Chain A
Amino acid sequence: MSTHSHAEGHLPHEPEKATLEGRNKVLGFWLFLGGETVLFGTLFSAFLALRHQVLDGPQPSELFKLSLVAAATAILLTSSLTSVFAIQALHNHNVKALINWLIVTVVLGLGFLGLEIYEFYHYVHEGHGFTTSAFSSSFYTLVGFHGAHVAFGIFWISSIIGQLMKKGLTVVTAPKVYVAGMYWHFIDVVWVFIFTVVYLMGKVV
């Protein structure tokens, strides 16, 4: 159970679950994501309750540019795929590939975030500010909470990349990588819902 019993190079197949600490971390994170689901669920409910209260602001159907959002979606979905490759590299104990895939994931995340910032900037110029209406407040809160999660994920994974470079892949760093991968998938799933509920429904109804 001690973290010291596994010297580097003798990693078990699933190093993230080799120690009790690692197993705790993974389970705790699953539970945390359960709480996050409620968090976003509540944000979605608030958005759905308020999304028709546009007042003097622009209608969602004229506001949203689906091509831009679709590009952001594609980038984020791809980053989810690259994080899967990173976890595969983790299971193969291939530190170099792991670090590279994580870097790709972070870069894609940055791309997504850049597009989102541009999108928000654009909306504000169209007269869709945070305080314009109940619709705009709930829109920015929901999408912004997601954006903040992406930003946090970028910092987090970057710090993990640094740790991997310095300490290598151990039973201490492996659970961190694994858990960050879970987090990234979760953010991705939330985005799929945002894309559907906010953007597609905004275009249709």
Chain B
Amino acid sequence: MAQGHAVKRYSGLMDWLTTVDHKKIGILYLIAGGFFFLVGGLEALLIRIQLWKPLNDFVSADTYNELITMHGTTMIFLAAMPMLFALMNAVVPLQIGARDVAFPFVNALGFWTFFFGAVLLNVSWFTSTGAPAAGWTAYAPLSGPAFSTGHGMDYYVLGLQIAGIGTLIGGINFLVTIINMRAPGMTFMRMPLFTWTSFITSALILFAFPALAVGLAALMFDRVFDANFFDPNNGGNAVLWEHIFWIFGHPEVYILILPAFGVISEVISTFSRKRLFGYSSMVFATILIGFLGFMVWAHHMFTTGLGPVANALFSIATMLIAVPTGIKIFNWIFTMWGGSIKFTSANLYAVGFIPTFVMGGVTGVMLAAAPADFQYHDTYFVVAHFHYVIVGGLILGIFSGLHYWWPKMFGRILNETLGKWTFWIFYIGFHLTFFIQHFLGLLGMPRRIWTYLDGLGFNEMNLISTIGAIMMGIGTIMFILNVVITNAKPQNAADDPWEDGRTLEWTIPSPPPEYNFKQTPLVRGYDAYWKEKMDGHKGMTPAEPIGSIHMPSPSILPFTMSLGLFITGFGLMYSRDWTFITEHIGFYVAGLGLLITFGSMFLRSVYDDHGFHIEPEELEDKGVKA
């Protein structure tokens, strides 16, 4: 056991590069995801500035297509997903009473692969051929080598491939964590809803991302190695890409929205001082949505020409999703019913979420009617719909979750006054931006257009939309301001800063010590902490005596493994261009990258991680400090 204490503990930058602590990884996800949220937001603002008046030439047509492609890709893969992973990392292990995740090393690896993939994708902005420009859906053959001749799409396929690996292994980590690491008494049907939705989301990631991996690999082979998957001139099939993309892409929508449902459930229940209404039907609805999410991908392809039978079936299947979603909406409203609702910033976002998401939901059902979709498809109506779901649903959910769990993550409560102002400006800006876009679409404005002609009746509505977007921008800046201001305040948040906490994360210090729980708690029912409070107890009953706690060692290997993949991506895409020293130098670079990755993997396998122990005496010390 002696060697356990010999493990090197890093500090400063090295601490962050080598950490395997899920709470620190959560913060890393938040910083990276937040950064890319700003990048994607900036892209959105440039798009809206280009569209504020007809026949504008603020950006060129090529740049515009790069902006829309990168905005979509960045927001989905590099902003929304990591911010969700930030919340999942920060909260899920605490909610199930676990000291750690199942695979701390893999968790770190997941973050670093996401990070390097994201950086690789965005490096494209600084290259001579620019960023990818075939849309975030990358429909072939436009995304193929014949029509996207620069390296932009190479950055897309390789960047997303690498980031996707990170997401996939992150998903597996959470599945195993939730299945195997629950505290005694924490049965599945006692798990908080955020943990449940994280669980289902992780399962969807597991079954959806490999399909994207294959699609991206095939497109990469087409582009780098002259394969013919999607090239119609050589027998390839462009519609095949649409199927592969959407069989991943539709579950992806639920991957994004389910954790937001979880956040809303927690926040509304806490700030209504009331148990979540219809808990078991909420769980059932989550599972059903996840399941149906795999059955409806072709509703993105109604105009592709799949025939009336397919269109009819996918119409009906899509409409069915409205039922479990409706159950959730009414359960939230009835959680508030009879409650004592406190409008903190977190709860404003959560309550604001409900009507907004309903609007996104009903337009979703409208879109599900295939013949009507022939009119809606690829217009601003669709743009409005999915922004209502993703911004009005997911982003409001994330903001709600961030305000709610900020004290748990950082030990400081975000400024409430500023938080409320931020909410109203962002919320009004959001509706101003996107509500009007429904009508733009119905009046005949297709999406993804660089500019529109004058005199078509689109001018005023586009101007309003742009003003709304600027308000959302201001709201986002105010949030960052709030973070900066809060960060300067003393770290003094109580264990249960909202005083109405119901779940296990509120039973431990804010921020929690690295081992989370000094003693693993014994869970006696749903809303474990609330139950103890109602029974007049101060805290949880421990399930074990105080003892030595085993912790995993930090490691730089996740970083180097991901760096290797980053180098491989570079080598592959420039394999044709780089001819210095020798032909195909790019392939050697790619090989070097793989060597670094597999070498690190080998080292990880050969050298056992014995970890280290925190002894009871140290626990007492830390207890005083916290």
Contact = CB atoms under 8 A, between A and B. Distances in A.
Nearest to B608: A172
A43 B214 contact: yes
A181 B80 CA distance: 37
A159 B172 CA distance: 24
B474 interface: no
B235 interface: yes
Interface string A152-173: 0001100110110001000010
A35 B221 contact: no
Given A131-B226, A134-B234, A141-B227, A34 B207 contact: yes
B606 interface: yes
A160 B602 CA distance: 10
B240 A31 contact: no
Contacts of A176: 605
A133 B228 contact: yes
Interface residues of A, number: 44
Main secondary structure of the interface of A (DSSP, over half): helix
B175 interface: yes
A186 interface: no
Given A28-B176, A31-B206, A55-B235, A137 B102 contact: no
Given A35-B172, A42-B244, A50 B229 contact: yes
A39 interface: yes
Interface string B244-255: 100100000000
B180 interface: yes
Interface stretch (A1-9, A88-96, A118-126, A191-199): A1-9
Interface in B569-611: 598, 602, 605-606, 608, 610
B210 interface: yes
A204 interface: no
A154 to B, nearest CB: 13
Nearest to B217: A141
B221 A42 contact: no
B211 A31 contact: no
Residue of A3, A46, A49, A138 with most chain B CB atoms under a 10 A cut-off: A46
A85 interface: no
Given A28-B172, A28-B173, A137-B228, A35 B207 contact: yes
Interface in A24-54: 24, 27-28, 31-32, 34-36, 38-39, 41-43, 45-46, 49-50, 53-54
Nearest to B215: A42
B11 to A, nearest CB: 26
A74 interface: no
Given A24-B102, A28-B103, A35 B225 contact: no
B207 A50 contact: no
Nearest to A27: B176
B225 A20 contact: no
B312 interface: no
Contacts of A172: 608
A130 interface: yes
Nearest to A36: B210
Interface in A94-151: 130-131, 133-138, 141
Contact of B236 (A39, A43, A134): A134
Contacts of B235: 50, 53-55, 133-135
Contact of B214 (A39, A136, A156): A39
Contact of B550 (A1, A133, A167): A1
B229 A134 contact: yes
Given A49-B237, A141-B227, 7 more contacts: A31-B206, A35-B207, A36-B210, A50-B236, A134-B228, A137-B221, A138-B229
Shortest Cβ-Cβ A-B pairs, 9 listed: A53-B235, A134-B235, A137-B227, A39-B210, A42-B214, A38-B210, A24-B102, A131-B226, A134-B228
Interface of B: 1, 102-103, 106, 168, 172-173, 175-176, 179-181, 206-211, 213-215, 217-218, 221-222, 225-229, 231, 234-237, 240, 243-244, 247, 550, 598, 602, 605-606, 608, 610
14 contacts: A24-B103, A28-B102, A31-B172, A35-B172, A35-B209, A38-B208, A39-B214, A43-B214, A49-B240, A50-B236, A130-B226, A133-B228, A135-B235, A137-B236
